[in-house]
Amino acid sequence: MKKRMLGKSDLEVSAIGLGCMGMSFAYGPVPDRKEMISLIRKAVELGITFFDTAEVYGPYINEELVGEALSPMRDKVVIATKFGFNTDIKCGKQLPGLNSKPEHIKEAAEASLKRLRTDVIDLFYQHRVDPNVPIEDVAGAVKDLIQQGKVKHFGLSEAGVKTICRAHVVQPVTALQSEYSLWWRKPEEEIIPTLEELGIGFVPFSPLGKGFLTGKIDENTKFDKTDFRNIVPRFTEENRKANQALVDQLGKIAEQKNATPAQISLSWLLAQKPWIVPIPGTTKLHRLEENIGAAAITLTLEELGEIDSALEEIKIVGARYPEELEKRTGL
């Protein structure tokens, strides 16, 4: 697996990371814990060194899973986790409230360290911007944790340009994690130019469009009642049917490259900037291997141009989040 640097920082990670959220949260029934531990360890064997989790996934159980899986090879991997919610409210029952008060950030860090079975968090993201706490105070709290040796790098998730710039003055931001893929390209407007200017890495989550860009989901797909996608406007039956044109086009390109639509989607992201590191999630070994294979695929400038030209003709239908969740992004 090739390696990449996240921006101008000294944080080197595998070109493709592993998003672990779905192993215990959001996408239907929770898989067998032992199987997920084996999958995470297999990912390390296959060259992945970058693992993403958060205290709110579960809450707590995803960090515990990642901590147990990676503790035997802790020195070989980079673990990213997130703070910023009141996790005493059970996710799924009620939307957890935002909380990025400095004292809460430090409490969250201590708890995450224990669950992750480590003495330092490699990358500590603010999960969502808290409009009630100045970002300077948030950055200052993480700066304190860095000075104490409990955190190595500061990150933001789904933050807007103004927030990124203000935070970066107080404590350099190593990476921004936000949604970015062939069916959500809004970051290209302002976010990516800002990250390039400031030397900040970009970690796209949902790089496969929450599974849609794999080509394995269509208008007839039925999701489990606990699956987050049931409330996502873009995943209504009608919108899936309309958006099938994107997957069909990816399929044609993939066939030409002897690849899969998922691999083309990931290799397209890797081709955008050398400091972009997508973190596709999966609970299946064959999907993990498929995603890793994308790092070996090189799209030429001509092929990238063909993809962009083809996709300009396709209109993506449906919002990426319900309105209540979308309000928490891009602040």
Which pLDDT band, with edges at 50, 70 and 90, does 121 fall under?
Answer: very high
DSSP 285: H
Torsion of CA 91, 129, 4, 27, to 10 degrees: 20
57 is catalytic: yes
For 14-29, what is the mean pLDDT?
92
CB 223 within 8 A of CB 28: yes
Class of residue 271 by CB neighbours under 10 A (exposed 0-12, middle 13-18, buried 19+): middle
CB 70 within 8 A of CB 79: yes
Torsion of CA 102, 168, 128, 24, to 10 degrees: -90
86: number of Cβ within 10 Å: 12
Closest CA to 269 of 177, 182, 159, 174: 182
- Alpha helix (H) residue ranges in the chain: 33-45, 61-70, 102-115, 135-147, 161-170, 191-198, 237-256, 261-272, 285-293, 301-312, 323-326
Can you tell me whether residue 166 is helix, strand or coil? helix
Which pLDDT band, with edges at 50, 70 and 90, does 299 fall under?
Answer: very high
> Whole-prediction pTM value?
0.96
Q: Strands 12-14 and 3-5, how do they pair?
A: antiparallel
Domains in the chain: ranges and CATH: 3-326 (3.20.20.100)
User: Rounded to the nearest 5°, which phi and psi values hold at 249?
Assistant: -65, -40
DSSP 150: S
For 177-182, what is the mean pLDDT?
97
Which pLDDT band, with edges at 50, 70 and 90, does 116 fall under?
Answer: very high
In this predicted model, what pLDDT tens digit does every residue of 186-241 receive, in sequence order? 999 999 999 999 999 999 999 999 999 999 999 999 999 989 999 999 999 999 99
Q: Which of 27, 57, 125, 180 is catalytic?
A: 57
Chain position carrying tokens 């406007």: 233
Closest CA to 177 of 317, 320, 80: 80
In this predicted model, what pLDDT tens digit does every residue of 245-267 receive, in sequence order? 999 999 999 999 999 999 999 99
Q: Find the largest Cα–Cα distance for the chain.
A: 54
In this predicted model, what pLDDT tens digit does every residue of 62-113 receive, in sequence order? 999 999 999 999 999 999 999 999 977 555 555 679 999 999 999 999 999 9
141: number of Cβ within 10 Å: 27
Q: Report in angstroms the alpha-carbon separations of 107 from 100, 110, 170, 172, 292.
A: 11, 5, 21, 22, 35
Amino acid 67: pLDDT = 98
CB 205 within 8 A of CB 178: yes
Amino acid 311: pLDDT = 86
What distance in Å separates the CA atoms of residue 144 and residue 106, rounded to the nearest whole number?
9
What distance in Å separates the CA atoms of residue 318 and residue 147, rounded to the nearest whole number?
44
142: number of Cβ within 10 Å: 29
Amino acid 94: pLDDT = 54
For 6-27, what is the mean pLDDT?
94
What distance in Å separates the CA atoms of residue 45 and residue 206, rounded to the nearest whole number?
23
User: Rounded to the nearest 5°, which phi and psi values hold at 10?
Assistant: -100, 20
Task: Give, to the nearest 10 degrees, the angle between helix 261-272 and helix 237-256.
Answer: 80
Mean pLDDT, the chain, rounded, equals 95
Amino acid 207: pLDDT = 98
For 132-152, what is the mean pLDDT?
98
What distance in Å separates the CA atoms of residue 258 and residue 273, rounded to the nearest whole number?
23
Which pLDDT band, with edges at 50, 70 and 90, does 324 fall under?
Answer: confident
